[in-house]
Amino acid sequence: MRRPDWRGLARDFALGAGLALGQAPLGLWPVAIVALALGLARISSALTAWQAARRALVFGGGHFCLALSWIVQPFLVDPAATGWMAPFALPMLGFGLALFWAIGAWVAARLRGGALGLAITLALAELARGHVLTGFPWALPGHIWLDTPLIQMGALVGGYGMTALTLLAAALPVALGRRGLALTALLALAAGGWSWHRLSLPEPAAPGGSFRIVQPAIDQALKWDPDLARDNFGTLIRLSLSGPPPDVVIWPETAVPYTVEPGNSAAVAIANSIGAPVAAGAQRVEGPLAWNSLVLFGPGGSFRATYDKIHLVPFGEYVPLGEAALDIFGVTEFSARAGATYSAGSQVHPVDFGPGLGLARVLICYEAIFPDEVASPGPRPGWMLQITNDAWFGTLTGPYQHFAITRLRAVEQGLPLVRVANTGISAVVDARGRIARDASGQSLLLPLGARATLDAALPGALPAPPYATIGDRPLILLLLAGLGALVRRVRAKR
């Protein structure tokens, strides 16, 4: 029996980790693009389809295990109860996601597509990863450009398109040698030209509305301690009163330490204490049902508007098949109808924040990582609001990656974005994905871990860019056409 090539597998894992170094916060894209090219060369030179799949699995495992190393942090919030799961969570997630790459590599090898065919199948694999089993499009290869001017490519082709172009740029020199390197250089020049064009557009007029971001920086281990609920609530109130009333005060995801219903004591306290409308992340309840919501509180603790999170986190906010377990077996522990988990919101809709601010597309936590779910039906909103609790993600890489991905949504939609996070990073982002500045040139950002507020005016929106209008449809058609060409070529040679 042939022994495994441990050195080769270690090389594949190291190359995948090299690709992960391009993700935020390091942003070492030169290292990442070289590692990607070498990884594609290794996979496309495999002698069999199964060898290609194995190399891609280990290459992808190296990438995801390093890029998503923050995933162990939620299990360490209560180490006595869940700490034992942390060592298993990272390899299971990392190599589970790498299975998409392994399947793509197997298909490319079966079709004898070489490095260029591999770029096509891996781009399709990343599209599938963003949708299958509710999807998880985090740490796409195209995300290595998010802290560079090339983030502007998102307005043209979106995050999946940036990933396809990145794979193509890395595959061309592998497939075509010096000619491929020249084509990669031309591709880089074209991307740079588009980015320069977008950055040179005139600044849009600001609508004039103002808001206050409240970043309470409450440790996740203390956030739901019932003995500290009153103190945590008081912290939010005190921070909200830090200056003249703005048009709206914004609290982060699940900031309210009590469940809220129209007119209950928590809602009344919020409405009566601030002197301005408050948009707060809260657990909204109706009977046994609860939602992870943004609530815009009105006079007397009424709800002027609500948005319920639609894309829930599997196992974190709901249990897959939990409703079926109730219907078939009578098991209540996993059912939203029995009050055990959150219910999903029923529809995407913009929230009206009144004169000056107008309509906004609200995103709660990781809803912002799904590019094809951001667009709102009906009138185009003037801005986006993300409330989140990145305290779950630790302090090393997770919050920075989440912030970078969220800035890409602003580029894709041509809309400014206001981000309000419990422990940070909170910021105002303009319609080109840049951190906005106030009239004095001060950056409108609250760093990770700071307990502070930020008063700002809403930046203006740009006209809807191509991606906001057409989405990923052209990319999917092009990739499927490329896959079809590979299939036809193989059949023609038979």
Tell me: the pLDDT tens digits for 460-476? 999 999 999 999 999 99
309 is catalytic: yes
Identify the domain containing residue 255 by its residue range: 210-310+345-461
Give yes or no: residues 156 and 245 share one domain: no
In this prediction, residue 356 carries a pLDDT of: 87
482 in a domain, yes or no?
yes
Quick one: residue 112, left, alpha or beta (phi over 0 = left, psi -120 to 50 = alpha)?
Answer: left
Q: Quick one: pLDDT at residue 339? A: 58
Nearest to 256 by CA among 290, 238, 229, 289: 229
Specify if 330 maps to a domain: no
> Taking the alpha carbons of 350, 334, 225, 399 in that order, is the dihedral positive or negative?
negative
pLDDT value at residue 493: 75
**Co-location of 116 and 158 in the same domain:** yes
What pLDDT is recorded for position 5? 82
Q: Are residues 482 and 390 in the same domain?
A: no
Token pair, residue 145, equals 């450009």
**How many C-beta neighbours within 10 Å does residue 176 have?**
16
Sign of CA dihedral 137, 139, 144, 148: positive
More confident residue, 440 or 63: 63
User: Would you call 126 a catalytic residue per the annotation?
Assistant: no
AA letter at 200: S
- For the beta sheet containing 383-388, the strands, ordered from the edge strand earlier in sequence to the opposite edge, are 351-352, 359-364, 383-388, 417-421, 426-429, 445-446
Please indicate whether residue 253 is annotated as part of the active site: yes
Whether residue 47 is found in the same domain as residue 175: yes
Per-residue pLDDT for 331 more than 80? no
Res. 313 pLDDT band, cuts 50 70 90: confident
Amino acid identity, position 116: L
Q: Output the DSSP codes for 360-422.
A: EEEEEGGGGG-GGG-PPSSSPPSEEEEEE-GGGGTTTTHHHHHHHHHHHHHHHHT--EEEEES
The pLDDT of residue 13 is 97
Q: State the Cα–Cα distance between residues 308 and 342, nearest whole angstrom.
A: 10
Residue 316, in any domain of the structure: no
pTM of the model: 0.94
Kindly state whether residue 339 falls inside one of the protein's structural domains.
Answer: no
pLDDT at 490: 80
- Do 87 and 152 lie in one domain? The reply is yes
Quick one: 90 and 165 in the same domain? yes
Return the pLDDT at 458: 96
| 249: in domain | yes
Instruction: Give yes or no: residues 188 and 249 share one domain.
Output: no
**Collapsing DSSP states into helix, strand and coil, what is residue 347?**
coil
**245: helix, coil or strand?**
coil
From 65, 126, 223, 309, active-site residue: 309
Residues in the chain, total: 494
Q: Indicate whether 148 and 294 sit together in one domain.
A: no
**Best CA proximity match to 60, nearest among 166, 117, 136, 140:** 140
Mean of the per-residue pLDDT values of the chain: 92
Phi, psi values for residue 275, rounded to 5°: 85, 10
Q: What stretch of H or E contains 328?
A: helix 322-329
Residues 41 and 182 in one domain: yes
Tally of structural domains, the chain: 2
Q: Is the pLDDT of residue 102 over 70?
A: yes
CA dist 249 to 153, 212, 388, 455, Å?
Answer: 33, 5, 15, 9
Cis peptide before 425 (omega within 30 of 0): yes
Q: How many helices (H) and strands (E) does the chain have?
A: 16, 13
Q: Are residues 236 and 90 in the same domain?
A: no
Query: Do both 59 and 164 map to the same domain?
Result: yes
340 located within any domain: no
- Identify the active-site residue in 65, 365, 367, 412: 365
* Average pLDDT of span 383-400: 93
Q: Which residues lie below 8 Å from residue 485, measured CB to CB, with a gap of 6+?
A: none
Question: What's the CATH number where 455 sits?
Answer: 3.60.110.10
- Mean pLDDT of all residues in 180-186: 97
In-domain check, residue 402: yes
| Structural contact between residues 64 and 94, judged by C-beta atoms closer than 8 angstroms | yes
Composition of the chain by helix, strand, coil, percent to 5: 50, 15, 35
pLDDT tens digits along 20-75: 999 999 999 999 999 999 999 999 999 999 999 999 999 999 999 999 999 988 78
Residue 251 counted as domain residue:
yes
Residues sharing a CB contact under 8 Å with residue 26, sequence separation 6 or more, in sequence order: none
Q: What is the mean pLDDT of the segment spanning 188-194?
A: 96
Catalytic residue, chosen from 65, 126, 223, 253, is 253
Q: Do 173 and 86 have their domain in common?
A: yes
**Residue 334's pLDDT is what?**
55
| Structural Rg of the chain based on CA atoms | 24
Phi and psi at residue 95, to the nearest 5°: -80, -25
- The Cα–Cα gap between 305 and 365 comes to 19
The pLDDT score that the predictor gives to residue 337 is 59
pLDDT at residue 172 greater than cutoff 70: yes
Instruction: Give the N- to C-terminal CA distance of the chain in Å, as an integer.
Output: 32
- Residue 343 clears pLDDT 60, i.e. is over it: yes
